[in-house]
Amino acid sequence: MKILAVETSCDDTCIAIAKGGKTFLNFKILSSVVSSQVKIHQKFGGVYPSLARREHEKNLPFVLKESLKECGLLAIKKNTIPKKEIVLYEKIFAKEQNLLKGFLNFVGQYKKPRIDLLAVTVGPGLEPCLWTGVNFAKALSSWLGVKIVPVNHIEAHIFSNFLSSDARRLAVKQKNVLFPSIALIVSGGHTQLILVKELGKYKILGETRDDAAGEAFDKIARILGLPYPGGPAIEEIAKQLSMINDKLSIKLPRPMIFSKDYDFSFSGLKTAVLYDYKKRPKKIRESKEYIVQMAREAQEAIVEVLVKKTIRAAKEFKAKSIILGGGVSANERLRTLFKEKINKMAAKPLLLFPEKYLATDNAQMVALCGYFYWLKSDKIKDWKNIKACADLRIA
């Protein structure tokens, strides 16, 4: 069977095509395309939902074409689209006129590819962005005559770890080595600590009360005059150890590190950075030395809180593994600190993290999650019953 997955929850337009078989082990990515909008949002230092939606509308037909081409499923065939179908597509894309044009153009030019199932991210995420992907999947579903699995974006980030066949083998053959697990999903929009009893069974232990960890990286980078996305920019500049000394004595709080719950809060950290920045003379705060040291301290503050709370949850729930996901999980310092702390634990849970390019948004993880539910004959829906849900919860 072949599955086509669509992901548009934030600012990346992503489509992946994969091949499945009889079990969770038989899964192979055939193609994957990510069209990043970073350049567009860089000017604003963050993602503007209405702008992102407009870009998704423009990108989706093109990304579809590229992903089909990459795996040899694109074939030219001029078609006249029946009036009845056009009326249906007009209804689906009532709020996305540009996407309607792009979709009709595609359907009029290419042969129906042999796809057996669709998967689409329905939430959580930015509402207008989610709807473009969801409506695109609905129209494709109607055109191809196949069903859709609606996918939770947070769950997809958990699944990004299982794109590795080794991790999949463990999940199938040695479940007791992996579960229960604690998943830390940290991205631009979300920070959640989740108890994973097994794949498909979750309980949210805690989450951010205000800004997400990635959002904190992005906002702090902006204060320091670093480009968007802030996470990679801060990580990169914080590596310049030759700039580190005690002269500036920069010290930031570790918000909620000792609180008894598993919640997080990062907006105070951003305020603390802004406060320190404003009180320094212009010459100092714009110096390389200051920017490097502040970036490093901010990264330490965020990473220490994330690691401390995750390790505490792992101990309390006797986790066999810790699973990382989301853009912030690409951070080397976060991965290193996890390894150090796990080494000091008696139980030494396994540490799973996705390959860096799969830590940020992509449709491969959506395809795998959709495939998982297809194998269970669960969540497979008619396109008429699919809708976006910006604040969808995993449990």
- The residue ranges that bind Zn ion (CB under 5 A) are 187, 361
Question: Which does residue 232 bind out of ligand KG4, Zn ion, none, counting CB within 5 to 8 angstroms by kind?
Answer: ligand KG4
Determine, following the binding rule CB under 6 A, whether residue 214 of this chain makes contact with ligand KG4.
Answer: yes
Q: Report the Cα 82 to chain-centroid distance in Å.
A: 38
Token pair belonging to 20: 């499945």
CA atoms within 13 A on the CB side of 233: 22
What is the smallest separation between the CB atom of 186 and ligand KG4, expressed in angstroms? 7
Compute how many residues bind ligand KG4; rule: CB under 6 A.
20
Q: What are phi and psi of 7, to 5 degrees?
A: -135, 120
CA distance 20 to 114: 13
Determine, following the binding rule CB under 6 A, whether residue 235 of this chain makes contact with ligand KG4.
Answer: yes
DSSP assignment of 296-347 = HHHHHHHHHHHHHHHHHHHHHTT-SEEEEESGGGG-HHHHHHHHHHHHTSSS
Token pair belonging to 86: 């056009």
- Within 308-327, the residues that bind ligand KG4 by CB under 6 A are 326-327
Determine, following the binding rule CB under 6 A, whether residue 207 of this chain makes contact with ligand KG4.
Answer: no
Question: Which does residue 230 bind out of ligand KG4, Zn ion, none, counting CB within 5 to 8 angstroms by kind?
Answer: ligand KG4
Question: Which does residue 217 bind out of Zn ion, ligand KG4, none, counting CB within 5 to 8 angstroms by kind?
Answer: ligand KG4
Q: Select from 156, 152, 153, 161 the least CA-distant residue to 179.
A: 161
- Within 329-368, the residues that bind ligand KG4 by CB under 6 A are 330-331, 360-361
Determine, following the binding rule CB under 6 A, whether residue 230 of this chain makes contact with ligand KG4.
Answer: yes
Residues 127 and 390: beta-carbon distance below 8 Å: yes
Of all helices (H) and strands (E), which one includes residue 184?
strand 181-186
Choose one: 142-150, 166-174, 196-204, 211-219; the region binding ligand KG4 (CB under 6 A): 211-219
What is the smallest separation between the CB atom of 189 and ligand KG4, expressed in angstroms? 4
Out of 113, 188, 354, 370, name the contact with ligand KG4 by CB under 6 A: 188
Determine, following the binding rule CB under 6 A, whether residue 7 of this chain makes contact with ligand KG4.
Answer: no
Q: Is the dihedral of CA 217, 221, 223, 227 positive or negative?
A: negative
Residue nearer to Zn ion on the CB measure, 296 or 335: 335
Name the residues that contact ligand KG4, by CB under 6 A. 10, 187-189, 214-215, 217-218, 229-232, 235, 326-328, 330-331, 360-361
